[in-house]
Amino acid sequence: MRPAVVCGVDEAGRGPLAGPVYAGAVILDVRRPVDGLKDSKQLSATRRDWLESRIKESALAWAVGMATVEEIDRLNILQATFLAMTRSLEALDGAFDEVWVDGNQRPLWPHVTRTVVGGDASVAQISAASILAKTARDREMRRLHACFPQYDFAAHKGYGTADHLAALRRHGPCVAHRRSFNPLKSWLAQGELPLSP
């Protein structure tokens, strides 16, 4: 009996105040292992980019899905994350027996699924998915930086750093900001921010 073919799934970008949420899906080739896989947050940007190339070259199949800022604000971040995960699986050109998802929650989809707390650091397929999601999202945040340089998205990737919050206070939100996230949500409700650029 052959071992189960596992597709790892993980997300990037649930916490930031700006930008889409991304998810990766990866089926690794056991005959072509990728050394150095771990949670994308534990890797330097240079190392993530190198591993991204190795994963894409070596995996049996991989895909990335995303959910937009509008979908995040309309659905909530958890459901938008599940949407990005579902889209990553739908885009995957490869057969699998099981899906292993990082964390303790999973989308309501028909696939046999296992949730793995800390899976991005302990399961190679999930680590690979984490890396693809993170590198794709970082590229999008650099693109948004070129459109809206006043927020310095390339530096903080949309997270609520002191500099980012100060830029929001100074310029107000742009179309890339999640208006359902605090403190932005409360600031907008109280009329404390300037009009969008």
Q: Which residues of 35-67 are buried (b: 16+ CB within 10 A; e: fewer)?
A: eebbbbeebeeeebeebbebbeebbbbbbbbbb
Phi–psi pair at 63, nearest 5 degrees: -160, 160
Q: What angle do CA 38, 64, 78 make, to 5 degrees?
A: 85
Contact residues for 137 (Cβ-Cβ < 8 A; gap 6+): 12, 13, 19, 20, 21, 22, 66, 157
pLDDT of 115 reads: 97
Q: Which of 67, 70, 66 is nearest to 24 (CA)?
A: 66
Structure tokens at 62: 């991989």
Residue 24 above 80 pLDDT?
Answer: yes
CATH architecture of the domain 6-146 equals 2-Layer Sandwich (3.30)
Confidence (pTM): 0.94
- What is the pLDDT averaged over residues 130-152? 97
Q: Does residue 21 register a pLDDT over 90?
A: yes
- Average pLDDT on 96-121 reads 94
Instruction: Give yes or no for a cis peptide into 20 (omega within 30° of 0).
Output: no
pLDDT for 36 equals 87
Q: Strand order in 61-67's β-sheet?
A: 61-67, 21-27, 6-12, 98-102, 113-116
Instruction: Please tell me the predicted confidence (pLDDT) of residue 192.
Output: 85
pLDDT digits (tens, 9 = 90+) for 113-136: 999 999 989 999 999 999 999 999
Cα–Cα dist 8/165, whole Å: 34
**Span between the terminal Cα atoms of the chain, in Å:** 60
Q: List the single range of 50-59, 141-150, 187-196 with lowest mean pLDDT.
A: 187-196
Count CB neighbours of 180 within 10 A: 16
Alpha carbon 183 to its chain's center:
21
pLDDT mean across residues, the chain: 94
Q: Of all residues in the chain, what percent carry a pLDDT higher than 70? A: 98
The pLDDT of residue 39 is 77
Q: Which residue has the higher pLDDT, 22 or 40?
A: 22
Comparing C-alpha atoms, which of 114, 106, 111, 116 is closest to residue 23? 106
Give the mean model confidence (pLDDT) for residues 51-61. Answer: 96
Sequence-separated (6 or more) residues with CB below 8 Å from residue 39:
120, 121, 127, 130
Over range 70-96, report the average pLDDT: 96
Q: Where are the beta strands (DSSP E) in 16-60?
A: 21-27
pLDDT level of residue 197 (50, 70, 90 thresholds):
low
Q: Residue 196 — very low, low, confident or very high, per pLDDT cuts 50/70/90?
A: low
Q: What is the pLDDT of residue 108?
A: 92
Q: How confident is the model at residue 176 (pLDDT cuts 50, 70, 90)?
A: very high
Q: How confident is the model at residue 139 (pLDDT cuts 50, 70, 90)?
A: very high
- Please, what's the largest Cα pairwise distance for the chain? 63
CB 19 within 8 A of CB 153: yes
